């Protein structure tokens, strides 16, 4: 995809809709924002020189997720520090991305281990406990088909891994640092995870938690005063697993010297059964760093403007996470 062209298309659209967006002047520009987590959506920063906005476009198969966010955006802004929705985009702007949302631009940086994260981590944990039992959200969002925590785990990780492997095998020729036997090991490890969660008692109850589902630290923005915002609510589900949110959010702290204290806090907040499921989610999170980044590596081939940086990052994460996974959980690829 030609990012210079898409930036031009978004700029022209923003100029035509400047009054709706609250932008002024003829020098409105759009700048593509690279998401290190993949290429499912496309985001741009809009600016007229004084005011900034953030626009996120979704492919057709992901548009319903953004529309769901739009439907409860005011409530999420008021109660969960989500960005304020400015405008809903319902016409084609970027080829292949026919729906989008425009938000206020947040002057914050992703939460980082180097930025004294503890005060923000504690606040987010208590906000998550509130989210996971928020009946207002459950009332607004229609329930999907009822399923167990085991099925919620499979939907979040097993399905993703299987789709990733299709992408990886389609671009096998690009991955000269991955051996054929490693791909076979991926298949076996995915099946092992599927069997494990289908047998564990703590995964057999109905999944009734309201979850963000993508609470990595890139999606927690913090300013210098430690005010924080939670972004990317398009994976919100009312039939998910709180263990998913907690595991992704606390992954940077897992295994550190601070972890025992957070473990005790988690058990108090969420209970022993949720924490027991978290151990499998931590395992899946590390396997995600082994497998999903290889799919990102292949997909980056179609994005020449960010290809080099995206593939370098994906390779580094894979080569770091793969031996770590073997060390923690055994096996050999």
Tell me what the mean pLDDT of segment 213-217 comes to. 95
What whole-number distance in Å separates Cα of residue 226 and Cα of residue 115? 9
* 295 confidence band (pLDDT: 50, 70, 90): very high
Centre a 10 Å sphere on the Cβ of residue 226 and count the other Cβ atoms it contains.
Answer: 13
- Tell me the two tokens of residue 287: 């396997």
Q: According to the model, what pLDDT value does residue 2 have?
A: 82
Contacts of 5 (CB under 8 A, 6+ apart): none
- Report the share of the chain in percent with pLDDT over 90: 83
Contacts of 29 (CB under 8 A, 6+ apart): 7, 11, 46, 47
Identify whether the C-beta of residue 158 lies closer than 8 Å to the C-beta of residue 194.
yes
Q: According to the model, what pLDDT value does residue 332 have?
A: 58
> Mean pLDDT score of the chain, rounded to an integer?
93
- Report the share of the chain in percent with pLDDT over 70: 97
Q: Is the pLDDT of residue 167 over 50?
A: yes
What whole-number distance in Å separates Cα of residue 278 and Cα of residue 307? 34
Q: According to the model, what pLDDT value does residue 333 have?
A: 46
Identify whether the C-beta of residue 231 lies closer than 8 Å to the C-beta of residue 106.
yes
- Tell me the two tokens of residue 238: 């009312």
Identify whether the C-beta of residue 127 lies closer than 8 Å to the C-beta of residue 233.
no
Closest to 250 (Cα-Cα) out of 226, 279, 223:
279
Identify whether the C-beta of residue 240 lies closer than 8 Å to the C-beta of residue 207.
yes
What whole-number distance in Å separates Cα of residue 14 and Cα of residue 93? 10
- The maximal CA–CA distance of the chain, rounded, in angstroms, is 61
Closest to 305 (Cα-Cα) out of 4, 8, 45:
4
pTM of whole model > 0.75? Answer: yes
Tokens 């009312």 belong to residue: 238
């Amino acid at each position: 995809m030609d990012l210079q062209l898409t930036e031009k298309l978004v700029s022209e659209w923003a100029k035509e809709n400047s009054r709706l967006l609250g932008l002024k002047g003829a020098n409105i520009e759009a700048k593509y924002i690279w998401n290190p987590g993949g290429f499912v959506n496309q985001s741009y920063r809009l600016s007229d020189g004084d005011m900034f906005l953030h626009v996120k476009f979704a492919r057709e198969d992901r548009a319903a997720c953004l529309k769901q966010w739009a439907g409860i955006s005011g409530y999420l802004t008021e109660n969960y520090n989500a960005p304020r929705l400015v405008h809903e985009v319902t016409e084609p702007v970027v080829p292949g991305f026919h729906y989008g949302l425009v938000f206020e631009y947040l002057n914050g940086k992703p939460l980082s281990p180097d930025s004294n994260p503890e005060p923000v981590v504690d606040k987010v944990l208590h906000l998550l406990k509130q989210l996971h039992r928020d009946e207002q959200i459950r009332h607004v969002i229609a329930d999907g088909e009822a399923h167990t925590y085991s099925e919620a785990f499979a939907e979040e990780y097993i399905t993703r891994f299987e789709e990733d492997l299709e992408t990886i095998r389609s671009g096998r020729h690009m991955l000269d640092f991955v051996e054929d036997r490693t791909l076979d090991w991926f298949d076996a490890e995915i099946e092992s995870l599927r069997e494990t969660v289908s047998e564990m008692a703590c995964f057999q109850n109905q999944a009734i938690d309201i979850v963000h589902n993508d609470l990595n630290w890139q999606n927690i923005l913090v300013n210098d005063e430690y005010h924080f915002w939670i972004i990317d609510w398009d994976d919100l589900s009312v039939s998910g697993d709180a263990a998913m949110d907690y595991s992704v959010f606390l992954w940077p702290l897992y295994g550190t010297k601070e972890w025992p204290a957070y473990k005790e806090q988690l058990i108090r907040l969420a209970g022993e059964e949720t924490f027991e499921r978290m151990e499998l989610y931590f395992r899946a999170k590390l396997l995600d760093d082994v497998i999903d980044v290889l799919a990102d590596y292949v997909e980056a081939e179609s994005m020449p403007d960010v290809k080099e940086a995206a593939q370098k990052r994906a390779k580094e994460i894979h080569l770091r996470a793969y031996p770590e996974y073997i060390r923690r959980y055994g096996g050999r690829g």
